[in-house]
Amino acid sequence: LPAQLRHRLVDQHGLSLQAAMAVIANPDILVLYKYLVEEGRLSGKAAYSFVFSALLSVLKQAHLEVSACPVPRERLLELNRETAEARLTNPCARVILEHLMKKKDESRSVTEIVAAMNLQQITDKAEIQSVCDEVIAARPGIVAKIRKGKNVKLNLAALVTQTVEAR
């Protein structure tokens, strides 16, 4: 049976063999994964990415197992939809998960919480360009260091961080 399930996860859900084995290894993860894919009609890759990139890292920080997650699976599905539809990145999903684990904003939808926290992903190229231009213009010292070749990686990382925080 595990071999059949593994093959189904690879063939029908598009997971790698390693990812399929990771899902199958923990019964609680498998149940949640199936719920996200079947009930939520999400792709296998989207569900896998959410569970292993966002959810497990937040639960690990809180020293919790999947079975003890205080966020109802319906809310997890709602959050996974935001990441699957590219409205939210996995790092931002972690922030929302931490927020939800504190039982804050239980009456608001995940979409409303994302908007209130200004965490929605910008996908409009013109808006991205505008934010980048503003960050670069406001930090001539960092730009000068990059042009001189001084600590290029570090300074680029600073610009990227400031660009993300600028919205």
pLDDT in tens, 111-127: 898 888 888 878 788 98
Q: Give the sign of the dihedral formed by CA 100, CA 103, CA 108, CA 114.
A: negative
Give the pLDDT score at 124: 82
For residue 167, pLDDT over 70 is answered with: no
Alpha-carbon distances of 64 from 16, 34, 102, 154, rounded to whole Å: 26, 20, 13, 34
Mean pLDDT over 53-63 rounds to 95
Query: Which residues have CB under 8 Å from 46's CB, separation 6+?
Result: 36, 80, 83, 84
pLDDT digits (tens, 9 = 90+) for 89-148: 888 899 999 999 987 767 888 889 888 888 887 878 898 899 899 999 999 999 999 999
Which amino acid is located at 91 in the chain?
P
Give the pLDDT score at 161: 83
For residue 165, pLDDT over 80 is answered with: no
What is the value of pTM for the model shown? 0.74
Q: Which two tokens stand for residue 63?
A: 């020293």
Q: Which two tokens stand for residue 124?
A: 């409009």
